[in-house]
Amino acid sequence: MAKTRKLCKDIRDKIVDLHKAGMGYRTICKFKMTVNHPRSGAPCKISPCGASMIMRKVRDQPRTTRQDLINDLKRAGTTVSKKTISNTLRRHGLKSCSARKIPLLKPAHVQARLKFANDHLDDPEEEWEKVMWSDETKIELFGLNSPHRVEGYNPKNTIPTMKHGGGNIILWGCFSAKGTGRLHRIEGSMDGAMYREILANNLLPSVRALKMGRGWVFQHDNDPKHTARATKEWLRKKHLKVLEWS
């Protein structure tokens, strides 16, 4: 039987320590350590200090672009690509998204909405079941109003479009806790007179069809056609209670 090579005490002790750390014999034999070996490939072009700088800027200024970050790093002596910036942000748990469009609210609007919320904070569910909600909406045939972020121009990721949206329709509709009311297509440009005609021909029949009963409340927003003096007078003559809107 051939003699085996005798291991020195230091190596034997190291093997025992590695085994106690949970490593198998094959792993101990192959790597001879518990820490990770240096990874192959090019080192990260953005230093930890640079990564901290761009993360801080993105958190303080969320609408910062990748080009802004490239310029900042370039001034600091580091040249990188947009892909490197994206990888760094993703590695730190951040990803890009499109800024959402919301109505411009003046301070008075904000205060009015806060007051509305506080005034109705404790309203029971039964009160909201009495409300008939209504609104107008425009529907684009090819949906130009919603941008989508995709990878390049891969055909499966593209959305066919037409100039001017390929046409659109404008609808008025209403609903309550009891169900949906009538849906009316608005032809041409709606003015106050047309709006009152829509209410007469669609709102009141919807209320009867849904059996809203006594004490129901009508809701519409503060569009000028809704708040016009003639419209308010029409609502008053019909004895309709209107939910104050903010």
Which element (helix H / strand E) includes 186?
Answer: strand 179-186
At 115-132, the pLDDT tens digits run 999 999 999 999 999 999
The single-letter code of the amino acid at 169 is I
Bridge partners (DSSP) listed for residue 242: 218
With beta carbons less than 8 A apart as the criterion, state whether 143 and 173 touch. Answer: no
Cα(15)–Cα(21) distance, rounded to whole angstroms? Answer: 10
Model confidence at 34, in pLDDT bands (50, 70, 90)? very low
**pTM exceeds 0.85:** no
Tell me the DSSP string of 82-119.
Answer: HHHHHHHHHHTT----PPPP-----HHHHHHHHHHHHH
- Which tokens sit at 46? 């953005």
Q: Is the pLDDT of residue 106 over 60?
A: yes
